[in-house]
Structure 1
Amino acid sequence: MVSKLVQGALAVTLALGGTLVAVGPAEAATTRYKNCTALHQKYKHGVGKAGARDKVRGSTKPVTNFTVSNAVYAKNAHLDRDKDKVACEKR
């Protein structure tokens, strides 16, 4: 059984001649946060893409305990000021 959301996406994709990309329930329910304070309420140390590394200067140690989620990062990439694929990193 195919959900109505997937059926609608398939119809739009076929009509536009694009590529169909599967969207799971976790990706569909992802929240876009207004700022890092709001994001930190759910993701204490920030959120990053799989394989991302926190970019640091000098002797500062990188944050390694951020939540890894490509879907959440994609919705909140606007909060990644240093463009290191980790948004709102915090110790």
Structure 2
Amino acid sequence: MKRNAIALLGAVVLVLGPTLAGCSEVSAPISASLSSSVAKTYKNCTELNKKYPHGVGKKGAKDKVRGSTKPVTNFTVSTALYNANKKSDRDKDGVACEKR
């Protein structure tokens, strides 16, 4: 009887071991991705520019300018952060609070 119990326990570990190990590995990245996907919303451009001096833009954005003014190209690229602060993009070019 003792031998059968040990064999049964070994079979349970072989079957459930990978499943249980996989569960703990899956839960860590999910919680990490949830906490990193929350972007801070700033009250205005003055507050945003303290942390991001040249503004924040979404991927693929280009600063829209008039005349001979050179566009800002060194803004921080973060679509999540841009979406959280979209209200601060006055010219709707995909870059919020752009500043030289």
TM range (shorter): 0.7 to 0.9
Aligned residue number for residue 67 of structure 1:
76
Return the alpha-carbon distance in structure 2 between the equivalents of residues 59 and 42 of structure 1. Answer: 28
Give the TM-score of the pair, scaled to structure 2: 0.67
Matched AA of 1:89: E
- Aligned-residue identity in percent: 62
Deviations 1:33-75 (A, max 9, x none): 0100000011010000011000000000000000000010010
The code of the aligned residue for 2:78 comes to S
* 3-state secondary structure, aligned to 1:33: coil
Q: Look up the match of 1:85.
A: 94
Structure 2 gaps, min length 5: 1-23
From 4, 25, 28, the equivalent of 2:35 is: 25
- C-alpha distance in structure 2 between counterparts of 1:55 and 1:62, whole Å: 7
Which of the pair is proportionally richer in helix? Answer: 2
Q: Report the number of matched residues.
A: 73
Separation of aligned partners in 2, 1:83 and 1:60: 17
TM-score, with normalisation over the residues of structure 1?
0.73
